[in-house]
Amino acid sequence: MRRSYAALACLGLAACAVGPDYRRPELAPPPAWRGADVTQQLDPSLTLAAWWERFEDPLLTALVERAARANLDVRVATARVREAEALEGVAGADRWPALGAAGEAVGGTGREPSEALGFLSLFWEVDLFGRIRRSVEAARADRDAAVDDRRAVLLAVVADVATTYIRLRGLERERAAVRGNLAAQRETLDLTDAQARVGLASDLDVDRARALAAGTAAELPPLEASVAAAEHRLAVLLGEPPAALAAALRTGAPIPPAPAALVVGVPADLLRRRPDVSRAERELAAATARIGAAEAELYPRLTLVGSVGLRSDDVAAMAAGSDFGSLGPGVEWPIFAGGRILANVEAQGARAEQARARYEQAVLRALEEVESALARHAREQVRRRDLAAALEAQREATELARRLHANGLAPFLEVLDAERELLAAESLLARSETSVATSLVELFAALGGGWERAEELALR
Q: pLDDT, tens digit, for every residue of 30-53?
A: 877 776 554 443 443 456 788 999
Does 334 reside within a domain? no
Does 322 reside within a domain? no
Decide if 431 contacts 39 (C-beta within 8 A): no
For residues 427-446, average pLDDT = 93
- Domain count of the chain? 1
Residue 436 and residue 445: Cα distance in Å, rounded? 14
The CATH number of whichever domain residue 172 belongs to comes to 1.20.1600.10
Residue 368 and residue 355: Cα distance in Å, rounded? 20
Does 109 reside within a domain? no
> What is the DSSP-derived secondary structure letter of residue 42?
B
Q: pLDDT tens digits for 78-131? A: 999 999 999 999 898 888 888 777 766 665 555 555 676 666 777 788 888 888
Closest CA to 267 of 148, 371, 357: 371
Residue 27 and residue 356: Cα distance in Å, rounded? 11
Owning domain of residue 296: 17-96+128-300+341-458
Residue 185 pLDDT greater than 80, yes or no: yes
Residue 320 pLDDT greater than 60, yes or no: no
Residue 82 and residue 118: Cα distance in Å, rounded? 38
State how far the alpha carbon of 347 is from the alpha carbons of 24, 34, 53, in Å: 21, 40, 48
* 201 vs 140 pLDDT, higher one: 140
> What is the DSSP-derived secondary structure letter of residue 330?
E
Does 309 reside within a domain? no
SS3 for 118?
strand
State the pLDDT at residue 105: 65
How many CB atoms within 10 Å of residue 95? 14
For residues 259-287, average pLDDT = 85
Does 272 reside within a domain? yes
Task: For strands 115-126 and 98-106, give the pairing.
Answer: antiparallel
> Given 3-state DSSP classes, what are the helix, strand and coil percentages for the chain, each rounded to the nearest 5?
65, 10, 25
What stretch of H or E contains 106? strand 98-106
Average pLDDT of every residue of the chain = 85
Residue 402 pLDDT greater than 90, yes or no: no
Q: pLDDT tens digits for 116-125? A: 666 677 778 8
Decide if 430 contacts 417 (C-beta within 8 A): no
What end-to-end distance do the CA atoms of the chain give, in Å? 52
Does 222 reside within a domain? yes
Identify the bridge partners of residue 42 per DSSP, sorted by sequence position. Answer: 262
Does 242 reside within a domain? yes
Residue 373 pLDDT greater than 80, yes or no: yes
* 20 vs 460 pLDDT, higher one: 20
Lowest mean pLDDT of 73-77, 121-125, 393-397, name the range.
121-125
Closest CA to 283 of 159, 158, 152: 152
b (16+ CB within 10 A) / e for 347-376: ebbebbeebbebbeebbebbbebbbebbbb
Contacts of 37 (CB under 8 A, 6+ apart): none
Does 107 reside within a domain? no
Task: For strands 115-126 and 301-312, give the pairing.
Answer: antiparallel
